[in-house]
């Protein structure tokens, strides 16, 4: 593709227009459109918790993943970027994440710019107690004034001088058109590489284990990538070492509980 055409697309991606954050209608799947019909609910914090009045009604929002729920405290969480805690062993940098992992039935925690996604261990686990305890933990935390995290936050895909034109376009498309939409559903997409026409992505937050994640990758992200970047043949989901270790730890805990 000619360089001036590429540059024109980059400028298009960078245009901060809300309408551009949406996938074209013929490329969008159920996963991308569901947020328009989400259920928003205010959850009252429990009496006697010490939570300040501004947090007495923390909003919750359904996600496409029935095992994940978004909590909206009404103020910035990270402000920008995202941070994933796939297991309690990864929550050392955040007292809020550690508090949420103390709740029975919580499998993973995810922080976004202004939301917190909590994923439960199993679809059969009832949300009632998890939701109540999570609201109290979030309210108490923000009242404390402690930092949300002391760890590194994932902001925009890091651009390198070694990136070729195609990789730069992929990262720009992810950051400006795809990630904002995924974050609205309580998750995120992390660029992990591009090799032999294949874009490798890691899905985090509510996207992890989501029944519609395969549809999201193929009918949403892959179609959009191929539409704008002809060099992309396919998109595949990958896991890193942390995910694999977390999965093994969780499987071992489940095995012991069943004994």
Reported as a single tens digit per residue, the pLDDT across 50-90 is 444 444 579 999 999 999 999 999 999 999 889 999 999 99
Quote the percentage of the chain above a pLDDT of 90: 51
pLDDT attached to residue 13: 55
Domains in the chain: ranges and CATH: 3-31+158-243 (3.30.300.130), 36-144 (3.30.1370.70)
- Rounded to an integer, the average pLDDT of 121-148 is 93
Q: Are 159 and 171 in contact (CB under 8 A)?
A: yes
Q: Taking each helix axis as running N to C, give the angle between helix 3-14 and helix 165-173, from 0 to 180 degrees, rounded to the nearest 10.
A: 20
pLDDT attached to residue 133: 96
Helix (H) or strand (E) segment spanning residue 245: helix 241-258
Measured in whole angstroms, the distance separating CA 91 from the mean position of its chain's CA atoms is 16
Q: First-to-last CA distance in the chain?
A: 59
pLDDT attached to residue 83: 94
pLDDT attached to residue 69: 95
Quickly tell me which residue has 């429990």 as its tokens.
Answer: 46
Q: Which residue has the higher pLDDT, 20 or 122?
A: 122
Q: How many CB atoms lie within 10 A of CB 3?
A: 8
For the beta sheet containing 40-44, the strands, ordered from the edge strand earlier in sequence to the opposite edge, are: 40-44, 57-62, 68-72, 116-120, 106-111, 83-85
Q: Which residue has the higher pLDDT, 155 or 196?
A: 196
Q: How many CB atoms lie within 10 A of CB 167?
A: 19
User: How much is the pTM?
Assistant: 0.73
């Amino acid at each position: 593709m000619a360089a001036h055409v590429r540059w024109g697309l980059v400028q298009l991606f960078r245009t901060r227009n809300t309408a551009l954050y949406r996938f074209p209608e013929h490329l969008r799947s159920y996963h991308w459109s569901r947020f328009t019909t989400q259920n928003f609910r205010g959850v009252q914090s429990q009496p006697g918790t010490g939570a300040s009045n501004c947090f007495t009604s923390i909003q919750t929002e359904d996600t496409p993943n029935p095992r994940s729920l978004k909590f909206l405290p009404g103020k910035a969480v990270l402000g920008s970027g995202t941070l994933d805690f796939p297991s309690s062993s990864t929550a050392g940098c955040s007292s809020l994440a550690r508090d949420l992992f103390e709740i029975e039935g919580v499998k993973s925690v995810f922080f976004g710019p202004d939301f917190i996604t909590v994923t439960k261990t199993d679809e059969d686990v009832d949300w009632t107690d998890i939701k109540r305890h999570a609201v109290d933990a979030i309210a108490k935390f923000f009242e404390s004034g402690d930092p949300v995290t002391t760890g590194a936050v994932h902001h925009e895909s890091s651009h390198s001088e070694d990136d070729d034109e195609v990789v730069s376009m992929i990262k720009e498309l992810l950051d400006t058109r795809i990630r904002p939409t995924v974050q609205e559903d309580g998750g995120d997409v992390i660029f992990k590489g591009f090799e032999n026409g294949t874009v490798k992505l890691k899905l985090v937050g509510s996207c992890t284990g989501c029944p519609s994640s395969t549809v999201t990758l193929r009918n949403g992200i892959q179609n959009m990538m191929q539409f704008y970047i002809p060099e992309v043949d396919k998109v595949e989901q990958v896991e890193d070492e942390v995910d694999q270790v977390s999965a093994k730890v969780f499987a071992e805990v489940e095995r012991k509980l069943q004994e």
